[in-house]
Amino acid sequence: MDLSNVTVAIVGAGPAGSSCAKKLSRMGISVDLYEKDKLGGLCLNYGCKYINALKEISDSIDRLNEVKGFNGQDKDKYTLNDFMSLETLNKKIDEVHSGIRRNSFEKLKKEGINVIYKRFEKEQEQNYDYVVYATGMEYPSIYEEIICNKYSDLVKLKELPEKMVVIGGGISASEISSVFSSLGTEVSTYVRSNILKRITDQDVRKYVLDHIINFNILKDENKTKELLNDENVYNLIAFGGTRPFSVNSNLRVRCDVENIYACGDAIGRSNTPISARQGAIVAINIHNDITKEPLVKLRPIPYMEVIRLKIPLGIIGTQTNDYREIKTGNVHGAYFEKYRGFNRVYFEDGKVVGGVTMGSPNEVAPYFLQYLKGSGDYSHFYNIFPTSDPFPPLLKEIDRKKDDN
């Protein structure tokens, strides 16, 4: 079927929007991809990738301080300012990201996607057969009637703040607080209840609070307001924004005309792989709607999150009271650390249902998630050394017992 006469506008060129655009274009559908800011969205320009870039440097500073034996309050500790200004670092990061954006633009062009650097107005919906909103969340800039900085303001910093107050107790707030603390800023993070609520294992929570978190946690509202009003303290809001759209299980926007879809952070906070997956599902559903085939439902997957603290933390699936524990070895990033953490595999009715890993979550999370879904047999698994992955010996033992039974 020739679908070249079908027109789709995708609003937002982050992971969800770009994924949707590529899949639709490969189906032969005409795609206009609107972006009011920069290709890559929050993830590349102000979020995940930007924090990753800062962490490359903060990790190096941490390692030097560990080798020197400097502790948290040592005045002789290395900071970013011993090597370069934050303005210089931000320029270096932008050079790399500019190259990524150029490559992304060329790839989108080769896919036949028309990229339009312009704000999409609602009245333009009538010009397209389908519209997909992948605009991300709307983030606040005011807290307790005080104007605050947002994620997107960090890239504009020219000097490393001497002091910083961060509002929020989730993953983003924790990562930003940790990175800037390692760079040399005195960071206080205001949390209304518990920081990192997804950590339900109390042993893990205590260890993270005692030995991994390297910033001050505030619960005093008056002290927080005092810091927010102090012109010598850089303030930052780092908690979840408002999702602009509500969708059904097919990612079609509720209470709207049938040809409007939404995905990514526009429908609720998600990580980059999930956003890209949602974008692909929207593309499939638009195709299926045209060809009168059943629409695909968004299926939930086990919870998975990597939290980039001083020692990275991975949370996968469910935490229970039935677990096996493995100590973290001298892994990459924690070779000289006094407190390197531990790892746990959680069970329910004899079945693996989750895991927590300290030190190597990016190495572990992808295959461990597959393992939870029942994919993979580790009874004949072989490690490649050197490795910082703590789980294969235990998973191998579990699967061999299954084979024996």
What angle, rounded to 10 degrees, do the helices at 272-290 and 15-26 form? 30
pLDDT of amino acid 366: 77
Helix, strand, coil fractions of the chain, as percent rounded to 5: 40, 20, 40
pLDDT of amino acid 73: 66
User: How many CB atoms are located within 10 Å of the residue 87 CB?
Assistant: 13
Contact 164, 187 (CB under 8 A): yes
Same fold, 7-139+242-290 and 304-404: no
Name the residue ranges covered by the structural domains of the chain: 7-139+242-290, 142-237, 304-404
Q: Tell me phi and psi for residue 167, to 5 degrees.
A: -100, 115
DSSP 68-79: HT--TT-TT---
Question: pLDDT tens string for the chain (405 positions)?
Answer: 889 999 999 999 999 999 999 999 999 999 999 999 999 998 889 988 999 999 999 999 999 998 888 776 677 899 999 999 999 999 999 999 999 999 999 999 999 999 999 999 999 999 999 999 999 888 889 998 999 999 899 999 999 999 999 999 999 999 999 999 999 999 999 998 889 999 999 999 999 999 999 999 999 999 999 999 999 999 999 987 788 888 888 888 875 667 999 999 999 877 888 899 999 999 999 999 999 999 998 888 888 889 999 999 999 999 999 999 988 776 666 677 777 889 999 999 989 999 999 987 887 877 888 888 877 666 666 666 666 777 777 887 887 777 666
Q: Which H or E run contains 11?
A: strand 7-11
pLDDT of amino acid 383: 66
User: How many CB atoms are located within 10 Å of the residue 187 CB?
Assistant: 24
**DSSP state for residue 208 in the 8-state scheme:** I
40: Cα within 13 Å, side-chain hemisphere: 20
- Confirm or reject CATH 3.30.390.30 for domain 7-139+242-290, answering yes or no: no
Distance CA(52)–CA(55), nearest Å, equals 5
**DSSP state for residue 254 in the 8-state scheme:** T
| Assigned CATH topology for domain 304-404 | Enolase-like; domain 1 (3.30.390)
- Confirm or reject CATH 3.40.50.1400 for domain 142-237, answering yes or no: no
pTM: 0.91
pLDDT of amino acid 389: 76
Give the three-state DSSP class for 329: coil
pLDDT of amino acid 385: 66
